[in-house]
Amino acid sequence: MYFPELKEKVVLVIGAFQGIGKSVVETFQKEEASVIACDIAFEEVKLTKTATDFYKMHLDISQEEEVIQLTQQLEEKHLVPDVLVHVAGISTVDFLTESRTTDFDKVQTVNTRGAYLSSKYVTALMQTHNKNGRVIFVASQAGKNGYKGMSAYVASKHAVLGLCKTLALEVAQNNILVNAVCPGIVETPMKHRERVEGGEIRGMSAQEVLEEDQSQVPLGRTGTTQDVANVILFLASPLSSYMTGQAINVTGGMTMN
Ligand SMILES: NC(=O)c1ccc[n+]([C@@H]2O[C@H](COP(=O)([O-])OP(=O)(O)OC[C@H]3O[C@@H](n4cnc5c(N)ncnc54)[C@H](O)[C@@H]3O)[C@@H](O)[C@H]2O)c1
């Protein structure tokens, strides 16, 4: 445990099933926080306690009714979050002029609308209960730069950073701190799929894309999910109490702005 202050705090993780979100869950469990893990991949229809201080629930973050039901259940069970970590996201790979409009809409619905809905309802709950909470978005370096073949995703991550900065201004008076992490290239199921699909449109194998990825990172390696979870932990901790509206790169030096 690094931060005794986080013991028994309620941490809501949206997009908790695999990849970065799974590491975030494990990281806060080590801090002995009460973790509420939500994901479209979980089966539990209602908020379910599956272990001491661990709760699970199915949630499609793009569905407003589901987000409202989640916040109602959190309130009923006296589990108003101290920390929201919004991780859930999807990506599609295609060149903009060749891409499908339905893919564009799908990515905006999950990434942009999802981040809007979670921050809207969960932050309102924090305000109602006078929580000096933390909201942490997992955006991306794609929220700061363009990437070939990733127009829908890049647009959505720029939007997430816009939501982050605006919400930070609006709830600063409540001492709710709102920040984002911008990961670079992180080894997760999403990244592995992107290498296959990105390789296909560029005439490269997934292995060649991996080698290209590695060569682009000044620190010489791609990121682990724990690299990202560590910075999220910092943003939830007392050490970051004078930070809000920030977008922190976790990219091994790949993005510096
Ligand atoms: N892997 C990377 O290189 C990388 C880089 C920068 C940013 N990110 C961002 O980090 C976040 C996590 O990515 P990852 O690489 O771990 O991806 P992943 O696909 O491995 O995990 C994403 C998780 O989100 C969940 N999810 C998807 N749609 C959902 C929905 N509608 N409602 C609820 N949950 C949903 C999935 O079930 C999954 O558990 C994403 O927002 C992604 O854009 C990833």
How far is ligand 1, taken at its centre, from the CA of residue 111, in Å?
Answer: 9
Ligand 1 in contact with 18 (CB < 6 A)?
A: yes
Q: What confidence tier does 7 reach under pLDDT thresholds 50, 70, 90?
A: very high
Residue whose CB lies within 8 A of the most ligand 1 atoms, among 190, 195, 213, 226, for a mutation test:
190
3-class secondary structure, 113: helix
pTM: 0.98
Is residue 242 part of the annotated active site? The answer reads: no
Which atom from ligand 1 is nearest to the alpha carbon of 193? 19
How far is ligand 1, taken at its centre, from the CA of residue 55, in Å?
Answer: 19
Note the pLDDT tens digit of each residue in 27-36: 999 999 999 9
Ligand 1 in contact with 198 (CB < 6 A)?
A: no
Q: Where are the beta strands (DSSP E) in the chain?
A: 10-14, 34-39, 48-51, 54-58, 83-86, 134-138, 177-183, 247-250
Note the pLDDT tens digit of each residue in 78-101: 999 999 999 999 999 999 999 999
